[in-house]
Amino acid sequence: MKYHIWTEGCQMNVADSQRVASALEHLGYSVTPKPEEADVIVLNTCVVRQSAEDKAYGRLNSLRPLKEKNPHLVINLMGCLVGIRNNDALRKRFPFVDVFSPPSDPSPLVAFLTQSEVRAMEESATATRYAYMDGDLVLPEVERGKLVSAHIPVVYGCSHACTYCIIPYRRGIERSRPPEDILAEARALVRQGVKEITLLGQIVDRYGKDNPAYPTLAGLLIRLSEIEGLERIRFLTSHPNWMTDELLDAVASLPKVMPHIEVPAQAGDDTVLENMKRGYTAEQYRELIARIRERIPGVSIATDIIVGFPGETEEQFMNTYRLLEDLRLDVAHLARYSPRPGTVSARRMKDDVPEEEKMRRFRMLEELQERIVGEINARYLGESVPVLFEEKVKQRWKGRTPTNKLVFVESEEDLHGQIREVKITWTGPWSMIGSLKK
């Protein structure tokens, strides 16, 4: 018996697919890269932007002939396209799909394949759904002993409800996982060769806010740092309103927590930020960046930006442009606004910025950021940095610095999972090249 998983979207979806694969292998399935060879096909979907949703529908329709050819094929539609609410419309539109699974929940597929309510893990808490039959997370076979960096979801859902965001509607309200489950999963991953973990949450800083018995994210980082064999810890994504001094001090003081912060601005204009319901001003965001840099020397900072939000004028866009120009951040994930059905912005705001104008603004920020990052990375030239190597790509080993910079090194040594000092010999805006320090 074989399975095939197609994953689209964020790191949370990647982690979800990994857990589905673990559950399937526990049931005796093995992975295949070819969907036409599979007995079970899982489509783990994203709908954050229209392009991702269109891709999901396209992939789903491409499976119809396989189902017609093999009626025993099990097709599982999972993720944000399904969401947490009634999916009768999807069932009618795609009658050839056997199982519909909410985000982060493999239990409907397990139930379908085993016809066992007990093994389907009836508990409604998401963390319990992750407690597979042996109570321990086992990586899929293709990753076991090979995966260097892994993701651990610590907060599911989101209760913030920015006006443009579909996540609360598809992933539900904010729920923190019990710290014992997170620590157990981290230990299990380390036993299987993982050296670095990244904690995931839509607003990861809010870990524990929904349960007074849980530690804060800073407290969780302290406990994770005590795990022997775990070399590096990261977390994403943060929100400006919940980035506390306690958390920043934890990053600064814990050697295993990497000096890299992902904290989206989304816009640099106060009116746009208010329309987005972000809860802060552009000046407050600037002050936060200054505070992060003051408390964590040498930190790298990533942000998210949306261009073409409803009503965004040229001057408002230029305020965003100036924000990026002034702050000189290490990474800017750029996106053109895409109205998502059911969100506040889709219901109440006219998508009035033409697509060609969205693209022009996108390109302006893209070019600005390429120049800024090129200048930032140039400072590494001739410097030595510790790099954790993940895999070999063609003739070069690929790894990352503590600040999450991508580095390539040519070497005949097996560098998999090693942290080695590397002298940087070439820099560009998206990656760097170096040589092992003797």
CA atoms within 13 A on the CB side of 361: 28
Distances in Å between the alpha carbon of 157 and those of 24, 83, 204, 206, 407? 24, 11, 10, 11, 33
Paired tokens of 308? 């073409």
Domains annotated for the chain, with CATH where assigned, are: 1-133 (3.40.50.12160), 381-436 (2.40.50.140)
pLDDT by residue (tens digit) across 349-404?
999 999 999 999 999 999 999 999 999 999 999 999 999 999 999 999 999 999 99
Chain-centre distance for alpha carbon 271: 28
Is residue 131 a contact partner of residue 118, using CB atoms and an 8 Å limit?
A: no
Q: Where are the beta strands (DSSP E) in 115-218?
A: 149-153, 155-156, 175-176, 196-200
Per residue in 396-429, pLDDT (tens digit) is 999 999 999 999 999 999 999 999 999 999 999 9
Cα–Cα distance between 111 and 265 in angstroms, integer?
Answer: 41
Res 134: pLDDT: 35
At residue 309, the pLDDT reads 98
Place of tokens 């979801």: 153
283 contacts: CB under 8 Å, gap ≥ 6: none
Q: What is the pLDDT of residue 136?
A: 59
Task: Please count the other Cβ atoms lying within 10 Å of the Cβ belonging to residue 377.
Answer: 20
Distance separating alpha carbons of residues 426 and 381, to the nearest angstrom: 6
Residue-wise pLDDT tens digits, 83-114: 887 778 899 999 999 999 999 888 889 888 88
Q: With bands split at pLDDT 50, 70 and 90, how would you rate the model's confidence at 51?
A: confident
* Amino acid at residue number 330: D
State mean pLDDT over 275-288.
Answer: 98
E strands present in 232-290: 232-236, 260-262
Phi-psi group of 188: left, alpha or beta (phi > 0 → left; psi -120 to 50 → alpha; rest → beta): alpha
Give how far Cα 330 sits from Cα of 32, 249, 269, 421, Å.
37, 20, 20, 21
pTM of the model: 0.87
CB contact at 8 A, 265 and 304: yes
Structure tokens at 114: 């085993």
pLDDT reported for residue 101 = 93
Strands 406-410, 432-436: pairing is: parallel
